[in-house]
Amino acid sequence: MDPKTQARFEALAAVIKAMAHPTRLFVVDQLSSRERCVCELTDLIGADVSTVSKHLAVLKAAGIVASEKRGSRIYYNLRMPCVLSFFGCVESVIKSVARESLGHVE
């Protein structure tokens, strides 16, 4: 693989890896309707605040979300709504795999 191609797929993988976690996907999903502060997300997720904060940092570093400070809170919003279009595709993969494991052959 030539260096340029290598770099391209490394960049792609970095963003996709940032989404590759249940909690972070949940955050993306939640932010698709509206922005949320860390405290709201923490309540919804039910993990330690520090854990949620680190997940948000991962999403932010990848450019998937952005944050805005207002008062004592920090609100996160979804910067790339197009990632949502991916959910449907992935769920079709999941359904297809489920069908097979139930005995469906081809």
Partner DNA sequence: TAATTATTTGGCATTATAACCAAATCGCCA
Partner DNA sequence: TGGCGATTTGGTTATAATGCCAAATAATTA
What's the token pair of residue 21? Answer: 């976690």
Q: Mark the segment that binds a copy of itself (CB under 8 A) among 5-13, 32-40, 50-58, 69-77.
A: 5-13
Residues touching a copy of itself, count (CB under 8 A): 43
Spatial distance between the Cα atoms of 82 and 100, rounded to a whole number of angstroms: 29
DSSP 33: T
- Taking the alpha carbons of 32, 97, 16, 43 in that order, is the dihedral positive or negative? positive
Which one of residues 27, 37, 59, 64 is an interface residue with DNA (CB under 7 A)? 37
When asked if residue 17 is in the footprint of DNA (CB under 7 A), the reply is: yes
Query: Residues 63-102: x/- map of binding to a copy of itself (CB under 8 A)?
Result: xx--------------xx-xx-xxxxxxxxxx-xx--x--
Q: Is 77 helix (H, G, I), strand (E, B) or coil?
A: strand
Report what 42 binds from DNA, a copy of itself, none; CB cut-off 5-8 Å by kind. Answer: DNA
Tell me, rounded to whole angstroms, the distance of Cα 94 from its chain centroid.
17
When asked if residue 8 is in the footprint of DNA (CB under 7 A), the reply is: no
